[in-house]
Amino acid sequence: MLKEFKDFIMTGNVIDFAVAVIMAGAIGAVINGFVSKIAMPLIGLVSGGVSFADKFWTPGDTVYKTVEEAKEAGVAAIEYGAWIDTIISLIFVGFVMFMVVKAYNKTKKPAEPEAPAGPSEIDLLTEIRDALKK
């Protein structure tokens, strides 16, 4: 059983998948850092100094200055600013993954064109048989 597990782990597909998961996590962390530390402050600057990370909504009439203050009071806070950050991160991650796949596809050899399909072996044998009968 241990040998079967070792054989399973050492197959190319499992190793490729593990590398892909690790790389995706690393790329995700880099992109999230880029979005929260660079892109969102620039978007906030363009939109008049608004910081989306601090934006939230609480039900009711009471106004809270921070999300932490609302949570300490036991009020549900809908943090739509953090959600906007997440959506922008998703767009950036999608774009980066698109670029990675595009670059990878350029490194692959183009598929060789298949030979034109001719008559099958059975068709040729049938044709020879019919010619011999004549």
Q: Is the pLDDT of residue 12 over 70?
A: no
Mean pLDDT of 125-134: 89
Do 53 and 38 contact (CB within 8 A), yes or no?
A: no
For the domain with range 2-49+80-107, which CATH number is right: 1.10.1200, 1.10.3470, 2.60.40, 3.40.1130?
A: 1.10.1200
Q: What is the pLDDT of residue 49?
A: 74
Strand-pairing partners, residue 57, are 78
pTM (2 decimals)? 0.57
Q: Domain ranges for the chain, please list them.
A: 2-49+80-107
Q: 29 falls in which pLDDT band (50, 70, 90)?
A: confident
Residue 79 neighbours by CB under 8 Å, 6+ apart:
55, 56, 67
Token code pair at residue 3: 């040998």
Q: What confidence tens digit (pLDDT) does each residue in 44-74 have?
A: 788 777 777 778 888 888 888 888 888 888 8
Report the distance separating Cα 77 and Cα 71, nearest Å. 7
């040729």: which residue's tokens? Answer: 124
